[in-house]
Amino acid sequence: MNDSSTSGDLADSLRALVAGLAVGDRLPSSRELTSQYRVGPATVARAIAALAAEGAVVTRPGSGTYVARGLVGGDDDGGDTDWQTVALTDRTVDTHLVGDPLGPVPAGTIPLDGGYIHRSLQPTRALSAALARAARRPDAWDRAPAGGLSALRTVLARIVGGTVTPDDVLVTAGGQSALSIAFRAVAAPGSPVLVESPTYPRALAAARAAGLRPVPVPLDAAGLRPDLLADAFAMTGARLLYCQPTFQNPTGTVLAPERRRQILDIARASGAFVLEDDFARHLGHGGAVPRPLVADDRDGTVVHVTSLTKPGAPSLRIGALVARGPVMERMRAVRLVDDFFVTRPLQEAALEILSSPSWDRHVRALGAALRARCAVLADAVLLEVPGATLTGLPTGGLHLWVRLPSGVDDGALARAARQHGVAVSAGRRYFAAEPTAAHLRIGFAAAADHAELTEGARRLGTALGD
């Protein structure tokens, strides 16, 4: 090749070279190519740029040019995305915590791992009617206020109680969105966040996605241990605690009355916020449900999360953050960066539902149904799963927390259970660090009826026996 060779000619020669190499192989340096093909540096640069535009090579400044995909080994129908492994250096989004590690559930599997209530328990008729009325409003498709509709914020403030006002409420697209906003608004990336152990995996995922480092604090039968919480604040310097004081997921624990004030006092003395996830406020099994921590907090220590999704339906993506002081302004700013506002028709429908007597009737009926399902599944697990121990019979929520016999691997059992036609959740996913023992979280809300709950426990026992 002489000095008059074009960059196109050189690009053709390099394509032939790349076709004989493997992905990741390094091409000769620009100096070597200049010498070998007797062209100028600018010609080499243009030829390399052409191949990079095609995706055949990738250039790494200071390192060289490497084979990427495409021309290697002939035609490539599916492409090669291996380069993303290098590009995605930020590992803060934990895909194992937000997805199902065992993959899609096969047809016919009994869902004892679900986090939503079965369709037969949902107020679908009332929801459909409310959404239809909301869609007919003249302003149905207008922009909603960033903080949420004033009337909806008023109703949500009344549900939370205490001295909470509508100005203290920010409407969100469900509880998970609220958690994501709060973690990013309250704590700086790289800082620790204290969490109950065990706790909700998707809260761990949201915290890590915000760049935070979850630090576990153990629970006992009365909830979060204040003595260990004080130690954890002192040792880590954390400025945020995430907890679920009422019907905790996965254990179902309710934080004892005397500990509620202790938790707030410890956090306040540490100059820290308490992120209270009150997802199960409407999931009591018929008994008294304790007041949320935020209802008795006048100093802005508590950032409260609530949601209508769990007691309503999976697509009723309406939740709220409740807070006082500058932290609320920070969360409003994060919400504007994220998505501006929650769609107005859904807010109007939620307002219709909450303002109707049918909502209270639904909550009461749901509580009775969940109480009966909980008892049926608990009896079936104790009968059908040898060596299984219930850590307690919950008085609210959607799940049982079951300790497995010594030597049983909860992940292996969850996989075996799938093969026997029942889906359960391995307990290890609920721990921010090493689990204390092997557990399963077994849900009683997503199955179709009592017969499915009993059959699911039988299949689980068979999987354990095998």
Residue type, 351: L
Q: What residue ranges define each of the domains in the chain, with the CATH number in brackets?
A: 7-86 (1.10.10.10), 95-119+360-465 (3.90.1150.10), 124-358 (3.40.640.10)
pLDDT for 360 beyond 50: yes
| 10 closest CA partner among 66, 50, 60 | 50
| 151 closest CA partner among 358, 361, 357, 354 | 354
pLDDT number for residue 91: 62
Q: Where do runs of H (alpha helix) occur along 115-256?
A: 124-135, 150-160, 175-186, 201-209, 226-236
pLDDT number for residue 7: 83
pLDDT in tens, 35-56: 898 898 889 999 998 888 888 8
pLDDT in tens, 252-301: 999 999 999 999 999 999 999 999 999 999 999 998 899 999 998 989 99
pLDDT in tens, 184-207: 999 999 999 999 999 999 999 999
Classified as helix, coil or strand, 168 is helix
Predicted TM-score of the model (pTM) = 0.81
pLDDT in tens, 206-239: 999 999 999 999 999 999 999 999 999 999 999 9
Cα 302 → chain centroid: 21
pLDDT number for residue 296: 87
pLDDT in tens, 292-347: 999 989 899 999 999 999 999 999 999 999 999 999 999 999 999 988 999 999 99
pLDDT in tens, 161-184: 999 999 999 999 999 999 999 999
